[in-house]
Homo-oligomer: A and B are copies of this chain.
């Protein structure tokens, strides 16, 4: 059973850790330099005041950090420091930190306790939930990793106010995704609250984030190890991974790539399910700003990159589509010709 998210202020972290069996002693806090500057001191002081002596490891922000070299850096530092079983790792940051530090925690000494403290919108509604950890490989994103259950997840929506604007709007892609694939009522609420959301109204965020996180939690509860239904969470993602790969990691944020990828998937959904309301779905999704240049990515390159996605089985792309807003299914029979058209659609309007 996946661990439920604790929605609570950041300063309750030491208490959460204690309540989950962490004893007085040491802990390793992995974060990035941006988050360290904002919350590093406060988190470390809070831990120390509960007799959990922290060691802070701040890595450069950005997708490039989700690499083998950084993983080895964590291994080397943790082991030189004398990492022991039972000493927890705190992943304080966005999806990159959560995935990387999570994978390190999963594999150091065959697993030490992991606490996820997501500080970005994407991480709060998506990547911190469900136990996926991992790093990128030259061949593609997230190709090395593990399913690893954290001992706790602490989410404080107040920290979202410190996010750069681009990370905020990128995160909205995953929020919208959760409405689209599994919760029409949430989608309707997102439509109604769209202006407030794009203006990053705090109360709206405090209300929407737990709802979007809950969609993810419900799906993961049904299928923790992604043998079936959990695949619908990849809505837009096969396209997104191809964009990230062809454009080069870092050119687009993950959320931006997902937004563009969802638009391609919405196009296909309308092709396959003729009464699917593509216009309504797209009206919200296309509000997510995407940096220019998408149209310059060559469709044959994107098609080739999709083939290498790890969700591919037996050579055929299995794509997540919608038959209506709030209901997703997996389709393994979309002809390549239609996929090319979907790419053109996503490029044309957004680019």
Give residues of chain A (303-326) contacting chain B, Cβ–Cβ below 8 Å: 308, 310-314
B146 touches A312 (CB 8 A): no
CA gap between A75 and B147 in the complex, in Å: 17
Give residues of chain A (62-86) contacting chain B, Cβ–Cβ below 8 Å: 68, 72, 75-76, 79-80, 82, 84-86
Kindly list chain B residues whose C-beta atoms are within 8 Å of the C-beta of A142.
110
Q: Count of chain A residues with Cβ under 8 Å from any Cβ of B? A: 38
Kindly list chain B residues whose C-beta atoms are within 8 Å of the C-beta of A313.
84-86
The 8 A CB mask of A98-125 against B (1 = contact, 0 = none) is: 0000000011111100000000000000
Contact flag A110-B147 (CB < 8 Å), given A75-B137, A79-B139, A80-B139: yes
Kindly list chain B residues whose C-beta atoms are within 8 Å of the C-beta of A108.
143-144
A25 touches B85 (CB 8 A): no
CA gap between A85 and B310 in the complex, in Å: 7
Q: Is A14 an interface residue (CB 8 A)?
A: no
11 further contact pairs, Cβ within 8 A, besides A79-B137, A111-B146: A25-B314, A79-B139, A79-B143, A84-B314, A86-B313, A107-B145, A108-B144, A109-B143, A109-B145, A110-B133, A110-B145
